[in-house]
Structure 1
């Protein structure tokens, strides 16, 4: 699955000035890693009814609709929830569009880890406003949602921010399989598709609060 900077970049394309809550929500599903790395538990925080089976678009809409009252009461939660849904949607599209070449590579896992680490720092340097996304994370409120506690989300946020503080985490050589052009295209299309759905589901009034 993509690492945080890809998720933040998608959020920043959904709306030009992403709120702290939208950004933190787009990080939140992976917060399960502070508790466990068991895949079946990660599937739960990614709202999968069956492990390895991503939710459909219709299911994402159901998640929005079932939380509509809470969204109206709390704009920050609305933004957080949209970020949460965006994360899972992005993971699904990444699995089908970006990850297959790594599965075909005999050293796919290590090459993948190298590339996603490199992407984190290249996006941080090359995307307008990217360093500000990290600053915004610090002001965002987490919510208990998806089987995660707010404290777990805060702890995971801290781990990710610490990762960016240590520039030794960036691999010296460049991307091996993906290119920045392919990732930029992926981010643009994923955000565009999410934007279309969010408009159809009438959530933009909450994102722009």
Structure 2
């Protein structure tokens, strides 16, 4: 799955460099379950609408997004919901493209594939931070976001705690591996961000009206 900066970069594209705080915090909402500590794949899958070990297809994501979107007229809630389900859609596209390419190209020991992924996408987070002109604005906007509970997936407290942890991690330069990614070059990932943004823009416009 892509890490936060990929989701933030998509959000930035969708909103022409100025995504709302509510969309931003929603865009990492499904991963807030990690604040519970050690969780199983099944538990994480619940917040991502995973069924039979697979992420939901586009129509399932759209159906759930529409249902939650209509629950409350407040625009902050609606932006949060759009961010939440945009995250799931981006995860689906990443799994089918970028990650699938990684699994095919990986030449190392299979026991180390997860570690290789973690190191490379960690580096990618910092490369995106440095390449995006509005990184500071995004992190500042994210910091002031209040978040929401989205039943039965995650609570507002979990979403905000996860947000705080991710900001802290991103602002700590010691977390940068200082490597050149082999499997996740920034050019390839940027193409993914641009393409996924195009797909999501059409979907989001149908509901939000001003994306």
TM over 0.5: same fold?
Answer: yes
For residues 79-136 of structure 1, the C-alpha deviation after alignment (integer angstroms, 9 at most, x for no partner) is 0000001100011111111112433423322221111101111111111201211111
Equivalence for 1:87: 87
Residue of 172, 177, 185 corresponding to 1:179: 185
Equivalence for 1:6: 6
Say if 2:30 and 2:48, in contact at 8 Å, map to a contact too. yes
Say if 2:30 and 2:84, in contact at 8 Å, map to a contact too. yes
Flag the 1:179–1:149 CA change in 2: closer, same or farther, 3 A: same
Cα offset for 1:37? 2.4
2:40 aligned with 1:41: no
Cα offset for 1:69? 3.2
Residue of 106, 114, 117 corresponding to 1:109: 114
Say if 1:102 and 1:111, in contact at 8 Å, map to a contact too. no
Q: Runs of 5+ in structure 1 lacking a partner?
A: none
**Distance across 2 between alignment mates of 1:116 and 1:95:** 14
Q: Runs of 5+ in structure 2 lacking a partner?
A: none
Cα offset for 1:26? 0.3
Q: Kindly tell me the number of residue pairs found equivalent between the two proteins.
A: 203
Cα offset for 1:68? 4.0
Equivalence for 2:29: 28
Flag the 1:28–1:157 CA change in 2: closer, same or farther, 3 A: same
Say if 1:40 and 1:51, in contact at 8 Å, map to a contact too. no
> TM-score, normalised to structure 1's length?
0.91
Q: RMSD of the TM alignment (CA)?
A: 1.5
Equivalence for 1:152: 158
Say if 1:111 and 1:176, in contact at 8 Å, map to a contact too. no
Flag the 1:64–1:100 CA change in 2: closer, same or farther, 3 A: closer
